[in-house]
Amino acid sequence: MKQIGITEIEDIALGASLLGAGGGGDPYIGKLIAIDAIKSCGPVNLIDPDEVPDDALIMPIAMMGAPTVMTEKAICGNEYQTLYDIVSKFYGQPIYAVMPMEVGGVNSMLPIAAAARLGLPMIDCDGMGRAFPELQMVTFTIGGVKATPMALTDEKGNSMFFCNTITNKWTEDLARAITMECGGEVTISLYIMYGKTMKSYGVKNTITLSSQLGRLIRTVKDAPERLPEDVFLEGSHGIRLFKGKIADVLRETNGKFNLGHIILEGLGDHKGQSAEVVFQNENLSAVVDGQLLATTPDLICLVDAETFNPVTTDALKYGKRVMVIGLPCYHMWRTREGLELVGPRYFGIDSDYIPVEERVKGAAQNV
């Protein structure tokens, strides 16, 4: 068991923001919420998933909606107690621990705040190993786990309990309608499960991984004899896809998601080349000189070309110099069931899924 105090928050937020693959929101706002909770209620115990008993009841915590909304419409702090009361009343038993459902700047932080405020431990596990835009997109769906019963509350005090939904996609659609009506952002507990299920289908130790990646980014220039970029790529196991300057950002919103794409002009080795990254909250595909180099569910991450700080899709700006890297996704996403949920075709990309490492190898041979 490890402890998460204020000093640990920084690295977790930074690394989770990288694993958010462009989504998951601004780590700054998430960090403030987690730090505030730890200041008020003390540090959080992080427990290894394999230490959790089979029959322990776990309450995952997440924010649903647009993380950018949180900069204006904050969290009041009572949300976690409201969710706890609803869930424990329904199950008629106390809750053993909280857990994140995705990795990202906000949704890795809120479960820490919840754990602190509820005096519960947090499990070092999530349901994506990255961020995804819709709530049925978790490894637990592949395992046949239902998103409901699910509890939902907003900062004003409206709260509800989704007793049953016929599919996890229906949970997404119904909860999304409520999220919009509540002002674009709510706090939820879904995929409420027992320890046995979590251990069977969860993506384990992703908080620890986030922390390691955060430390890597923070210390990337500490070895003066090595190129920071090499240190970063080696430490993150990232595959360099492109390096360039953001030449254009196109944003749309359909009321539910941040959609858009960016055009990059190559720098350094990539001079003269151009690249396009398409996103729906998270980055979905990366094309370099017309060649598809990576698609969802592999992680496509933009980092600042100098500091290697992750650049989320809500922070994309003309002129920013970035490196685009690919990271292989969790193995369950590469199964047939996984690709049905989060593969390129679900997001309207007209291509079969090919793992990023194979695409890049193929592209290198074609040159």
Supply 239's token pair: 């595959």
Task: Look up tokens 């997404």; give the residue.
Answer: 172
- CA 306 → CA 41, 229, 347, distances in Å? 37, 8, 31
Among 36, 48, 51, 173, binds a copy of itself (CB under 8 A): 173
- 166 near a copy of itself (CB under 8 A): yes
Supply 101's token pair: 């459902």
The answer to whether 323 and 229 are in contact (CB under 8 A) is yes
Supply 273's token pair: 């080349």
CA 320 to the chain's CA centroid: 22
- 187 near a copy of itself (CB under 8 A): no
Please state the closest distance from residue 156 (CB atom) to a copy of itself, in A: 5
- 159 near a copy of itself (CB under 8 A): yes
Which three-class secondary structure state does DSSP give residue 171? Answer: helix
**Closest to 30 in 3D by CA, of 85, 81, 68:** 68
- 84 near a copy of itself (CB under 8 A): no
Q: Give the interface segment with a copy of itself, choosing from 50-58, 152-160, 247-255, 297-305 (CB under 8 A).
A: 152-160
Q: Establish whether the linkage from the previous residue to 224 is cis, with ω within 30° of 0.
A: no
**Closest to 270 in 3D by CA, of 367, 362, 204:** 367
- 88 near a copy of itself (CB under 8 A): no
The answer to whether 353 and 297 are in contact (CB under 8 A) is yes
Q: What is the dihedral of CA 102, 186, 285, 328, to 10 degrees?
A: 0
Residue 357 and residue 127: Cα distance in Å, rounded? 23
Residue 155 or 229 with smaller CB distance to a copy of itself: 155
Among 91, 161, 257, 346, binds a copy of itself (CB under 8 A): 161
Q: Give the interface segment with a copy of itself, choosing from 2-10, 51-59, 170-178, 355-363 (CB under 8 A).
A: 170-178
Please state the closest distance from residue 158 (CB atom) to a copy of itself, in A: 5
Among 177, 223, 227, 250, binds a copy of itself (CB under 8 A): 177
Residue 87 or 98 with smaller CB distance to a copy of itself: 87
Among 43, 51, 174, 363, binds a copy of itself (CB under 8 A): 174
- 157 near a copy of itself (CB under 8 A): yes
Strands 57-65 and 97-100: parallel
**Closest to 23 in 3D by CA, of 277, 233, 225:** 277
- 163 near a copy of itself (CB under 8 A): yes
Among 136, 141, 165, 205, binds a copy of itself (CB under 8 A): 165
Among 41, 180, 247, 292, binds a copy of itself (CB under 8 A): 180
Residue 164 or 219 with smaller CB distance to a copy of itself: 164
Among 39, 156, 226, 317, binds a copy of itself (CB under 8 A): 156
Among 80, 162, 308, 330, binds a copy of itself (CB under 8 A): 162
Residue 49 and residue 6: Cα distance in Å, rounded? 22
- 81 near a copy of itself (CB under 8 A): no
Please state the closest distance from residue 154 (CB atom) to a copy of itself, in A: 9
Which three-class secondary structure state does DSSP give residue 201? Answer: helix
Residue 5 or 157 with smaller CB distance to a copy of itself: 157
The answer to whether 15 and 233 are in contact (CB under 8 A) is no
Residue 86 or 311 with smaller CB distance to a copy of itself: 86
- 158 near a copy of itself (CB under 8 A): yes
User: Which stretches of the chain bind a copy of itself, using CB under 8 A?
Assistant: 86, 156-166, 170, 173-174, 177-178, 180-182
